[in-house]
Structure 1
Amino acid sequence: MTSTPTEVAPAAPSALRRLLPGAPAGREARGSTLLRHLAVAVFFGTLVVLVTNQLAPYQNLQVARVCAFLCVTAGHTVLVGLNGQLSLGHGALMATGAYTMALTQQALDERAVRGWWTLPASLLAAVAVTALGGLVVGLAAARLRGPYLAGVTLAVATLVPAVTTIFTGVFNGEQGLPFPAQTPPAALGAYFQPERWLAWIALAAALLTMLLLANLVRSRFGRSLRAVRDDEVAARLAGIPVARTQVLAFVVSAACAGLGGGVYAMLTATVAPGKFPLDLSLFLLMAIVIGGLGSLAGAVWGAVLLVALQDLPGLLTEHLDLSAGLAQRLEGNLALAVFGLILIVVMLAAPGGLQGGVRAVGDRLRAALRRRRAPRRSPDR
């Protein structure tokens, strides 16, 4: 008797495999993942709060700025790294959240509305309006790929600052909108550092963003994002609505940018077009590439780099005896030049970004420890 060869179906991509019919629901796994993420958020939140108690006011503002940018870079990582859509307009989305935050606070102050809830309400308004903007951009960009998608988002990055300078009656032109100072609650004491309070608010926003995104990445929707990124045709054959997934990725990413912009408005005390230049979108994209597109941890590296490199020209002009003209040129170009140099070095040395390099080093150390702990075989006699 001759055996007939059996046809073996090709293996589905890893992101698709768990989306196919018959895949386990994993409800218990989702519950344990949520608890693990909550524990990590509580640990790092407690650690940062303890650190801020020992920092000077300016250093606490730096921590707050890192947290504000972390909201943006984390959402940007979901869009670019997990879904594969290139965006050059996240600086404009961040500006949208900041202006919405300032306008909402202004409207509440004009109506003499006071209370602890006004700040969260303004942040929610910033998130909602920016998410709506992300929906519009996502619908427009759903059929575009590559340079065409980048061109649409770049147009958004140039449109938003232009709108703020044209409608001066609403946005106050180049001078921008003032943002009221946020005083700490009386329960914290009369001498509690206001900058520390701002750092705590920004930290809460960043932790909430990271917690929600970490669980989203592990969810069915997160697997759909990766499946669409890896192979749109295979994802469509598996029943994934590709266009809707891409639009929702834009909405989620824009909402995070709006939250970061709202927190940033609270820190800068003035929301003006100069706070959100065109190169901010380029900085945000380079930050997540340098940090590592594959994970949310890379967004943390990117946020830290953003704040550190923005402060670099000021540190140089403070400690070096530079002329006024040279100091002005450094302030405008040094951060971009250093960012570009770091990007080249990281792409050559660690294509997976800083987080990918850290993960590779950790894997090698664990492999070395396993080899050392493995029992040695006696030589054969």
Structure 2
Amino acid sequence: MIELLARHTLLRHLLVTLAAGVALLALTYTLSPYRNYQLATMAAYLCATAGLTVLVGLSGQLSLGHGALMAVGAYTYALMSAEVGDRGTTGPMLLLLPLVAAVVATAIVGGIVGLAGARLFGPYLAGLTLTLTIVVPAITTTFADQLGGDQGLSVLVEPAPASLGITFPLERWQAWIACAAALLTMLLLANLVHSRFGREMRAVRDDEVAARLSGINVQRTKVIVFVVSAATAGLGGGILAILTQSVSPGAFSLAFSLFLLMAVVIGGIGSLAGAVWGALLLVALPEITDSLADNIGSSPQLAERLDGNLSLAVFGLVLILVTIVFPRGIQGLVSAVSQRTRRSGRPPSSRPGTTTTEDPPTTTSSESIDA
């Protein structure tokens, strides 16, 4: 069974996703409504951080505008849900159609940005994506009649299905939706990373010239990765719209885009497991800083200054500490500890640098090549 799972990546990822889904389902029954809402928020962030991890860590492209891409998904969901609701659509289609529209619209925007930035790298690409955080709020102001301006839009969201019971908590239903979207995102990205296209991504990240000489279309690879990353951000934005039941430009500011990037770096850039840590930090750190600000007992003027700025300061401090202590992020630390634990648990005869009294088995050259 272990050998079968080792050979079949898709089967292994499906089993892990199924196990995670069962664990999360059981967890939602033990959490309070507020904690379920936090779990759902973390799952929405995970959709964005996972895509950003693939973009930055595996293809080498830097994006400072993923918060704006989430805004595109959120606004698309709000507009589409209103349109579908006006036509009398109810049930699962009222949920699925706006989500699909959010993913498609954000993927199109990501494709446009990806085409424009396919020949850029480093700070130039970062500057291009940074303009998204300026353009999106400007569009909401220009088309205030349709997009609500600074006040934003309300989102049409149905309660939990009646088949679950009249007293079924809405927050648990939202957690189910968000976790399903996050698990689907992780499953698709994990298979993408371990596919041939994933190897091409890493080749482009490591050396574009060598990748081009190997027959890889560098520009096409960059554009596809950006489209995939944007689509996952749009899905996360749509899920956030469901959770908050409103959309406004202030929720997707430049600081939010920086938070997403810092969360990916702190969690462990280039690792999908690191994206999980990053999404957890995005939910946990603001609550910690709010509690810290309340315990300070400051004046109203100081409290107003600390509002929002304290979270950014704490995030920056954590980023500095993580970069110094364990540069590979939280997941890198977890992997190092796990490897050290496995090595310490081996019998002495199997540890590197030790000898045995038995002669090692001989292998032919063909067998060593196959291994």
Same fold by TM-score, threshold 0.5 exceeded? yes
Q: Residue in 2 aligned with 1:171?
A: 147
Q: Residue in 1 aligned with 2:268?
A: 292
> 2:230 aligned with 1:242, yes or no?
no
Q: Is the 8 A contact 2:73 2:106 kept in 1?
A: yes
Q: Is the 8 A contact 2:59 2:222 kept in 1?
A: yes
Q: Residue in 2 aligned with 1:150?
A: 126
Which of 228, 234, 243 does residue 258 from structure 1 map onto? 234
Separation in structure 2 between the aligned mates of residue 373 and residue 328 of structure 1, nearest angstrom: 63
Q: Is the 8 A contact 1:292 1:355 kept in 2?
A: yes
Which of 228, 253, 266 does residue 204 from structure 2 map onto? 228
Q: Residue in 2 aligned with 1:370?
A: 346
> 2:32 aligned with 1:42, yes or no?
no
Quickly say closer, same or farther: Cα 1:315–1:373, change in 2 above 3 A: farther
Tell me the secondary structure at the aligned position of residue 88 of structure 1: coil
Match for 1:128: what amino acid?
V
Separation in structure 2 between the aligned mates of residue 320 and residue 65 of structure 1, nearest angstrom: 27
Quickly say closer, same or farther: Cα 1:368–1:98, change in 2 above 3 A: same
Match for 1:170: what amino acid?
Q
Q: Residue in 1 aligned with 2:50?
A: 74
What displacement does 1:321 show? 3.5
Q: Residue in 1 aligned with 2:192?
A: 216
Tell me the secondary structure at the aligned position of residue 346 of structure 2: helix
Tell me the secondary structure at the aligned position of residue 145 of structure 1: coil
Matches within 5 A, 1:64-143: 64-143=40-119
Query: Among the aligned pairs, what percent are the same residue?
Result: 58
Q: Is the 8 A contact 1:182 1:194 kept in 2?
A: no
Quickly say closer, same or farther: Cα 1:362–1:107, change in 2 above 3 A: same
Match for 1:136: what amino acid?
I
Q: Is the 8 A contact 2:6 2:12 kept in 1?
A: no
What displacement does 1:136 show? 0.2
Q: Which runs of 5+ in 2 are unaligned?
A: 358-371
> 2:175 aligned with 1:199, yes or no?
yes
**Number of corresponding residues:** 352
Matches within 5 A, 1:315-326: 315-318=291-294, 321-326=297-302
What displacement does 1:374 show? 4.2
Deviations 1:155-192 (A, max 9, x none): 11211111112210110101110012331111111111
Q: Which runs of 5+ in 1 are unaligned?
A: 1-27
Q: Residue in 1 aligned with 2:360?
A: none
Which of 127, 143, 157 does residue 181 from structure 1 map onto? 157
Q: Is the 8 A contact 1:130 1:254 kept in 2?
A: yes
Q: Is the 8 A contact 1:77 1:296 kept in 2?
A: yes
Which of 48, 60, 63 does residue 39 from structure 2 map onto? 63
Quickly say closer, same or farther: Cα 1:208–1:31, change in 2 above 3 A: farther
Which of 270, 274, 287 does residue 311 from structure 1 map onto? 287
When the two structures are superposed, what TM-score results if normalisation uses the length of structure 2?
A: 0.91
Match for 1:336: what amino acid?
L
Q: Residue in 2 aligned with 1:334?
A: 310
Separation in structure 2 between the aligned mates of residue 328 and residue 123 of structure 1, nearest angstrom: 36
What displacement does 1:327 show? 2.4
What displacement does 1:338 show? 0.7
Tell me the secondary structure at the aligned position of residue 141 of structure 2: helix
Deviations 1:298-345 (A, max 9, x none): 000000001112223433355553433232222221111111111111
Q: Is the 8 A contact 2:85 2:156 kept in 1?
A: no
When the two structures are superposed, what TM-score results if normalisation uses the length of structure 1?
A: 0.89
Q: Residue in 1 aligned with 2:257?
A: 281
Q: Residue in 2 aligned with 1:9?
A: none
Match for 1:91: what amino acid?
G
What displacement does 1:60 show? 0.5
